[in-house]
Structure 1
Amino acid sequence: MTSRISTLDPSLQALVPRSTGRPQWGLHWWTPTCIVGLFLLGVIGALAHHQFYKSLQGKEALNQVRQIQYGTALAFFTRATLVGSVVLCYKQRIWYTFRQKALSLKAIEASIEVTEDPTMFWNWEMIKRSKLSTSMAVVSWLMPIAAVLSPGTLSTHAAVLSNSTMCTAPTLNFTEEAYDNFRNPKIIDGSYGISLSYWNTTDINATAPGWFDYWDRPSKNAVRLSVMSVYTNKPVEIKGGDAKACGAGWNCTYSISFVGPGYQCNEIANASSDRALQSGSPFNLSTLAPSGNKIYIADVDAAEYDNPQLLTDSKGQPIEGPPWPAELGALKAEPKLWIGYSVNTTEPYAADSPFAGKWKTVKVPRIFACEHYETQYTVHFNYTGGNQATTVTSRTFLNPIIDTSIRATKSMNGTSQSFEITPPSNFILPGPDVPRYKLIAAYHSIGYLFRNWLRGTVEIEGKWPRTLSDVTETRLVNRKTIWPLQDLETQVQSLYEDLLLTLLSDTSLLIVANNTVPCTRSRFINEFMYEARSLWIGYAIIIVLAFICLLVGFISMIENGVVSGTGFVHTMVTTRNPVLDALGYGSCLGNGPFPRDLLKTKLKFGVVNDSGVEDGLAHCAFGLESQTGKIVKGMPYAGLQPTSRSKEKVD
């Protein structure tokens, strides 16, 4: 048998590699492996995308842009691998079509390039005569939609992140006052700790026999905090309290407990029960509207600590003495708060009422009394958006701060009033028990400042109120009408607690200490929300379509008996046909536009009927439909011996 290569020009024979010239039937492993591998990689990419977004579900949306970028990368990876699998399957299908149907050169070109050039879809012949392969090409173009939509399945929404932990919160520890010595002040954050009280002393050097310190008045810091509390109408907020207790950017709630002073109030008299005089009240209901003109009256100084106890020098030492009076500096009693007020109702008086001419609406007089007690408090703190809110959730009155009784007496002339305080054994003296004396003095300082806001009267003269009390500067009265609040008894206790909680705002005070308490922290965050259903709707569609294309591709490969392609090598070896040489005359450089008649010429891939068959091997190539026969799977085929153009025949 004569080799085809031997017929070539001797100068070209050395350039042609030796080969058997016989086709290798059967599916080469590389392309099917790539088809399946790309499909599996696409499925893995979809699963990875799902797991990645699932891992973000419910978590705080940190680095949101980066997370979406990662998701987009997985989406494009999935799209690229599935499209790659579909395109490889498409190539197998079009070769099956080329074998079965004759198509124009223009349709063949469109079929080969349509997965890369969408304008090729305008070729109606390709769509009509190769519907399945065209559908596969459409699938390859539509799959990127999944890559565009899938990142949108991860979004954010506002949520509340909360946890339980331990917070460091300020509290009040009045026992620090018990052991304070102004001569050797405690250092707090690099500065001297401040007491609630100022002191006088019998010996500034603390060396004289029997020396002692005794209470003088509230400290200026305590006065300042009292004023701030009243004029802000609530406890002064702790500066940076939310960040210190909760942490920056967090809201939190917690409760603290402490023992401090408090007023226990009880009603003594009202319009239906006048027990004022029997209870020791210094006034009765007749002084209050509607009988009287007063709408508020407060007697809060009974048995108040005498100040000064003795005249002192610039160092706070008594000018005269010793010997000192036996009861010098003794805290004998805590003045009881006697408060009367009238409630201003909206109900008009009956026409026959004796008060109808004086008052337009019904006035209800009341009297209550408050005693100073050592009190156990539980206070709930709530920090939201940096704002502090406090609620006293419980108060337990333990015992009177000074357990003595006060009885008013009159001097011999019957005009000046004095008080009998009993029993003397319960007086708090500065010498015997210094820590207890200093503790009670701290309580007394707070009560003293509070009473300054309450004493005096408010009365109505004609249409205008006449105010002889600082109570009108507080929230205990209606600022517009000057009438006391209807629940004045409760509000008096609450106002005093505002003053106590205001002390927490000054960390330089001796009594302010930090304590570790359980707290609940929360904050508003952007939280990732993953819509798995939306992601998988898109992925399920393209995975199913890719799988269908995979089946079509494998069926086409089995039917073809070989793995086909559309690359340059495949094109070169399948178009070696003298007829095509003649058709392509004048266009060998690939220049366009191609002649219209050339583009309309219909070709089919099959066994070319020509006279160049040697060794019993037929030649397979693109040719005219009348020139080509059906390729039979398993039959041996070979190439055509080159001939000169002058010998080519075109049927």
Structure 2
Amino acid sequence: MDTNLQHPPVALTTESSQTGSSETNNGAAGVPLKEDTDLVEQRPINTPESSQPQRSWKSIWAGFKLHYDMPSQMVILFLLGLFGALGHHLYYQGLHGQEVQDTEWPVRFGTALSFFVKICLVGSVEIAYKQQAWLIVKTRTFKISTLDVIFSVCSSPFGFAHPEFLFEAFIAAVIAGLVWILPLCAIASPSTLTIQDGDRIRTTTCNVSMIDFTRENGFGLDSDDQDRAGMSYWDTYGSPGAREDGIYTYASPSSELRRIFQLSTLTYTGPISPSTPCPSAKACTYPLNLSTPVYHCEQRQEFGGENPLGYNKSQLVPTGPVSYASYSSVNEDIGGKPFAWKNMTPSTQELGVFTEIPTLWVGWVTKSSGYHSSIAECTLYDAITTYNVTFFGSNQAAMHQTAISLVNPLLPNGSSKAPWEEDYQQFSAYHAAAYMFRSFLSGNITSDPLAGFIDRTDLIQTNLFDNANGYFLYDDLPEALGELFQHFWLSTISDSRLHSQINRSALCDITESVLLWQYNPFWLALSYLVAIGLTIVVVLIGSYCFYKNGYSMDITFSTFVATSRSPDLDKLVEGHYLGHHPKSRDILDAKLKFGELVTPSDQLPLRERRAAFAFPNNVKRINSSKEFLSKNE
């Protein structure tokens, strides 16, 4: 130690200042006094505050780093971890439901985000732990072996096996434990983003099967498309009952129309499906607009029309034996021609002219909580019906009706349809289909004590009846019959042997099987919320430790150089200057405390007072770190 510091010149300086200039000019003591005067000039004690030089920006920056550098790092790391976790969630949320383009890098990037969050939170906790560690070593006495654990447990988990560390530094042990536990939040990251089978819908143009009944007009024996059939047969010049002028007149439904009618009405699975326009798609949906006749029914109190068998409501169950009855309001021959045409000669101008379309009369009985009898008259209307046609794979799953718009009766009262009109053949096709439908429904079902019921109608072949008693399964029979009639029109779309069947372009929504990202945020949110919540608690503890310490502390080499230079330690480590492992028990069991060194020389200059690890009796508590630091600047 410097000789001048062992014999401080403070007293000399003071005495010199009191004796005046005469002593200063003493020749015998001139040189020493000159040195003392210089020393006094280097260490002014009572210099007024106004005369001290202003602090430079470097000293201000050093003071800021001393008090706020590490607390700022702790808070910044925590905020980075918090926003990293939020960004991780938002990134996965953005991927949710998206088609998988790359199966590897999104997961890798998510894992990188998870590790970034882990690094930031652990870094914040470690800074808080360091401040807690320095706070407890200033307030308590520990063995050197325990101090080893306190300053190394964040890098070696074996320190948790040290009893004194766990019980004497419990809060520090808990915080250090979080350093090892928080990385587990990265485990939940890969499991929250998975790949699942999904569907992608895109709109494209498809070649769909359609029906265009206007193609019936002008189709005859001289047409090019003779390998396909029309919907009705016609009487031509030279055939029995034909007009002499050679104009076509309606004769009967065509055999092709009868075939498709039988197939559609007797199937239990709905209309016959056309081929899918999207063979390679998982599902294919397109809109379909049909301009076809439909039956519009209205409730009646009693049967009407020509009523060939004289039905009346009293014959319906329970007052009568009839549970179902149907007929046409006008009698027709076997092909659907009005009986009035039979009395006309080929030269008669009215031959082939339709003056009315028969209405459909239906009476039925339903039995649920009791017997309910109803009567309805159904009129044939022009209508536009809209469907959504959906195929799943190569099978038609549904033709869902979305809207129906009635235009007007197919043949309004007082109107007629003559063979020379342009749309006569189209009208005849509609009439042929309606005639087959009325014929299919005609007849009755009567109750029988022995057989249960006796049927005299082809309608019994459908699934509209209860096979046990012959009653209808639906309270609204007209709606069920209307749907059955529409199934026939839908079935014509699939009949490539009809001249009216065509293919047209339409917009299709194609559903394709793709791989989609599936994000389940529960485990990611749970792990992050727990990690962030614990980190908040630790940051608050670390902030308190910063406040109590009054300055920032680290566990770097330079920190231990500054805090381990005490005579006690010099004496303790004699023979162990290499710091080699293992150390003797004398060293490890020695108890130390960090504080201001207590020396006999309390008269030492303030700058010479030091803080270090030493034996408990040789240190005292640092009451004010700010005062201690300011005195040693």
Q: Same fold (TM over 0.5)?
A: yes
Matched, 1:232 2:267: yes
Q: Could you say which residue in structure 2 is the equivalent of 1:443?
A: 430
Q: Which amino acid aligns with 2:580?
A: G
Q: Distance in 2 between matches of 1:242 and 1:54?
A: 40
Q: Could you say which residue in structure 2 is the equivalent of 1:376?
A: 383
Q: Could you say which residue in structure 2 is the equivalent of 1:284?
A: 310
Q: Distance in 1 between matches of 2:300 and 2:180?
A: 90
Q: Which amino acid aligns with 1:600?
A: D
The 8 Å contact of residues 379 and 393 in structure 1, kept in 2 or not, is answered as yes
The 8 Å contact of residues 377 and 396 in structure 1, kept in 2 or not, is answered as yes
Change (3 A) 1:559 1:131: farther
Whichever structure has more strand as a proportion of its residues is 1
Q: Distance in 2 between matches of 1:93 and 1:345?
A: 85
Change (3 A) 1:237 1:248: farther
Residue 439 of structure 1 and its aligned partner are, at CA, apart by: 1.0
Q: Could you say which residue in structure 2 is the equivalent of 1:336?
A: 358
Residue 543 of structure 1 and its aligned partner are, at CA, apart by: 4.7
Q: Distance in 1 between matches of 2:423 and 2:195?
A: 59
Residue 164 of structure 1 and its aligned partner are, at CA, apart by: 13
Instruction: Describe the SS at the equivalent of 1:388.
Output: strand
| % identical equivalent positions | 18
Change (3 A) 1:552 1:446: same
Q: Which amino acid aligns with 2:331?
A: A
Q: Could you say which residue in structure 1 is the equivalent of 2:485?
A: 496
Q: Distance in 1 between matches of 2:460 and 2:119?
A: 78
Residue 104 of structure 1 and its aligned partner are, at CA, apart by: 1.0
Matched, 1:90 2:129: yes
- CA deviation vs aligned residue, 1:144-201 (integer Å, no higher than 9, x gap): 46656799999999x99999999999876432433556755679xxxx8864345676
The 8 Å contact of residues 296 and 459 in structure 1, kept in 2 or not, is answered as yes
**Unpaired segments of 5 or more residues in structure 1?**
3-23, 204-208, 310-322, 349-361, 405-422, 638-651
- CA deviation vs aligned residue, 1:414-449 (integer Å, no higher than 9, x gap): xxxxxxxxx9xx4532xx33x312211221231233
The 8 Å contact of residues 171 and 257 in structure 1, kept in 2 or not, is answered as no
The 8 Å contact of residues 45 and 75 in structure 1, kept in 2 or not, is answered as no
Residue 81 of structure 1 and its aligned partner are, at CA, apart by: 1.3
Change (3 A) 1:249 1:487: closer
Matched, 1:111 2:103: no
Residue 462 of structure 1 and its aligned partner are, at CA, apart by: 5.2
* Number of residue pairs matched by the alignment: 536
Q: Distance in 2 between matches of 1:573 and 1:33?
A: 19
Change (3 A) 1:557 1:374: same
Q: Distance in 2 between matches of 1:555 and 1:292?
A: 101
Q: Distance in 1 between matches of 2:441 and 2:382?
A: 21
Question: Which residue among 89, 97, 100 is the counterpart of 1:61?
Answer: 97
Change (3 A) 1:293 1:545: closer
- CA deviation vs aligned residue, 1:227-270 (integer Å, no higher than 9, x gap): 332233464165577979xx966889x7x665322335556764
Q: Could you say which residue in structure 2 is the equivalent of 1:409?
A: none
Q: How does 1:306-325 map to 2 (within 5 A)?
A: none
Residue 202 of structure 1 and its aligned partner are, at CA, apart by: 6.0
Q: Could you say which residue in structure 1 is the equivalent of 2:469?
A: 481
Residue 588 of structure 1 and its aligned partner are, at CA, apart by: 5.3
Q: Distance in 2 between matches of 1:136 and 1:559?
A: 20
Whichever structure has more helix as a proportion of its residues is 2
Change (3 A) 1:33 1:635: closer
Q: How does 1:155-166 map to 2 (within 5 A)?
A: none
Question: Which residue among 285, 295, 304 is the counterpart of 1:263?
Answer: 295
Change (3 A) 1:124 1:269: closer
Q: Distance in 2 between matches of 1:513 and 1:331?
A: 33
Residue 108 of structure 1 and its aligned partner are, at CA, apart by: 0.9
Question: Which residue among 374, 396, 399 is the counterpart of 2:406?
Answer: 396
When normalised by structure 1's length, the TM-score is 0.61
Residue 332 of structure 1 and its aligned partner are, at CA, apart by: 4.0
**Unpaired segments of 5 or more residues in structure 2?**
3-57, 239-243, 339-344, 623-627
Q: Distance in 2 between matches of 1:35 and 1:467?
A: 95
- CA deviation vs aligned residue, 1:390-417 (integer Å, no higher than 9, x gap): 447545361344868xxxxxxxxxxxxx
Q: Distance in 2 between matches of 1:170 and 1:472?
A: 31
Matched, 1:602 2:591: yes
- CA deviation vs aligned residue, 1:69-116 (integer Å, no higher than 9, x gap): 755543442232132133234335534554565421111111111222
Residue 625 of structure 1 and its aligned partner are, at CA, apart by: 4.3
Q: Distance in 1 between matches of 2:290 and 2:441?
A: 25
Instruction: Describe the SS at the equivalent of 1:284.
Output: coil
